[in-house]
Amino acid sequence: MKERIHLLYEKLFITPKPFPPGNYQATINTDDGSPLRLHLRVEQDGMGILVINASTILHLNPTATEIAYHLLQQTPEEEVIKEMGKRYRIDDLVLREDFTNFKERLHSLIHTPDLDPETFLDVERLELHEKEISAPLRLDCALTYQLSNGEAGSYAPIDRVKRNLDTEEWKTILDKAWQVGIPHIIFTGGEPTLRPDLVDLILKAEELGQVTGLITDGLRLSEKDYLHQLLQAGLDHLLFILVPENDQSWEALRDTLAEDIFTSVHITLTDKSPKDASALLTKLNKMGVKSLSLSADSTENREKLPLLQQKASELGFSLVWDLPVPYSKINPISVELEEAEAKKEGAGRTWLYVEPDGDVLPGQGNTKVLGNFLTTPWEEIWLKATR
């Protein structure tokens, strides 16, 4: 009788153990015969991060993570239903429906143009900052602190940065980041397009399977050949730092929007900004911009942000608050914005920031050096970041 009661207790109350953590990868063929590159990172709590074709990151709940794992292993559907049915004690029909729905959503995402590089399935974005994860989701790489206008030093902390890493050193960092499970790379600065090896670095990340983003003033993007080189190398998304008073900036934005790449536009409110900044948003909306990043360069200009945010919401823009804006005259890091609380929470946990010499900071503007990505053991860097 004791044994029967024990078995009944297990059946009713014991939650299945999370799926074994680890990193998995595979290339499978879709229904139309095209190859699909999948990389899956399973966390200790069973949550998962699925990278699709080095261009889209899905954040998954434990059940979806297990389904994704079986897709990578190409486990026959009947076997998946049988195994997960035992683990979760769920009706076969329900599991089959979940399995089919996941594959359909995956197929839809694969064929969606200009897709946001990070998609959250049944996971709240801010919850990720509170979870214990094995490695950050993103690495922000400041390739240089030089700016397009030739300025540098006075607007970036280059008193700490004695040199710029060379191409092979940055490739070593990308390799190391991939080995510890970091799926998302942001190239920033300064102005990263000033680096002659930017295309090579994007190509390296693409070969590894990482999703890549670029934060740029966009001036070089008016050179269509250069823009196409970035896209062909595998660049997945852009944060375009718009300079409203610069005609070349508008020209480059139009050229970028004509391409198949997810693009957010960053606007920093300055004393040079139009008095009616909402008219600027209307113009961007008519051009087809769908995602915005907003900041201010002073406490006075900060007061204009709530109205601008409200206008952005009315026009249907999605707002991005967690990407690092290049160091420059309009660097907003020193301005404390209530809307940027998520940015502070994620720094040092959801993402890390690498300076041009390889030193690792929790985030842009945070002067705490966690080590050097080239020379410090990863375990030591991550321990300092999370404790």
Mean local confidence (pLDDT), 344-366: 86
Please, are residues 50 and 40 in contact by the beta-carbon 8 Å criterion? yes
Instruction: Flag whether 126 is in a domain.
Output: no
Residue 121's pLDDT band (cuts 50, 70, 90): low
Residues 102 and 166 in one domain: no
Please, are residues 375 and 360 in contact by the beta-carbon 8 Å criterion? no
Given strand 118-120, what is the order of strands in its sheet? 22-29, 35-42, 48-52, 56-60, 118-120
Residues 177 and 99 in one domain: no
Residues 159 and 35 in one domain: no
Strands 371-372 and 359-361: antiparallel
Quick check: 73 pLDDT over 70?
A: yes
Cα distances from 329 to residues 114, 215, 268, in angstroms, run: 31, 16, 10
Instruction: Flag whether 215 is in a domain.
Output: yes
Residues 186 and 197: their CA atoms lie apart, in Å, by 15
Residues 285 and 295: their CA atoms lie apart, in Å, by 18
Instruction: Flag whether 198 is in a domain.
Output: yes
Residues 108 and 164 in one domain: no
Instruction: Flag whether 247 is in a domain.
Output: yes
Residues 263 and 115: their CA atoms lie apart, in Å, by 9
Residues 41 and 156 in one domain: no
CATH number, domain of 158, equals 3.20.20.70
* pTM attached to this predicted model: 0.83
Residue 64's pLDDT band (cuts 50, 70, 90): confident
Q: Looking at 78, 93, 120, which one is the last position of a domain?
A: 120
Give the model confidence (pLDDT) of 269-327 as tens digits. Answer: 888 777 778 889 999 999 999 999 988 888 788 888 888 889 999 999 988 887 888 87
Instruction: Flag whether 226 is in a domain.
Output: yes
Residues 102 and 171 in one domain: no
**Segment (H or E) for 35:** strand 35-42
Residues 223 and 142 in one domain: yes
Residue 319 β-bridge partners: 292
Segments forming the whole domain that contains residue 114: 2-120
Domains of the chain: total? 2
Q: Looking at 89, 120, 151, which one is the last position of a domain?
A: 120
Residues 328 and 357 in one domain: yes
Residues 99 and 214 in one domain: no
Residue 23's pLDDT band (cuts 50, 70, 90): confident
Tokens 């890493």 belong to 165
Answer with the residue of higher pLDDT: 105 or 377: 377
Enter the tokens of residue 53. 């074709």
Average of per-residue pLDDT values in the chain: 83
Instruction: Flag whether 128 is in a domain.
Output: no
Quick check: 334 pLDDT over 50?
A: no
Burial 121-154 (b: 16+ CB within 10 A, else e): bebeeeebbeeebbbbbbbbbbbbbbbbeebbee
Instruction: Flag whether 254 is in a domain.
Output: yes
Instruction: Flag whether 125 is in a domain.
Output: no
Answer with the residue of higher pLDDT: 7 or 349: 349
DSSP letter, residue 141 = E
Give the model confidence (pLDDT) of 220-272 as tens digits. Answer: 999 999 999 999 999 999 999 998 888 999 999 999 999 989 999 999 888 87
Residues 216 and 116 in one domain: no
Q: Looking at 88, 120, 152, which one is the last position of a domain?
A: 120
- Confidence at residue 331, expressed as pLDDT on a 0 to 100 scale: 53
Residues 111 and 144 in one domain: no
HSE toward the beta carbon, residue 139, CA cutoff 13 A: 28
Please, are residues 171 and 204 in contact by the beta-carbon 8 Å criterion? yes
Residue 140 β-bridge partners: 186, 353
Residues 283 and 333 in one domain: yes
Helix (H, G, I), strand (E, B) or coil at 302: helix
Residue 263 β-bridge partners: 238
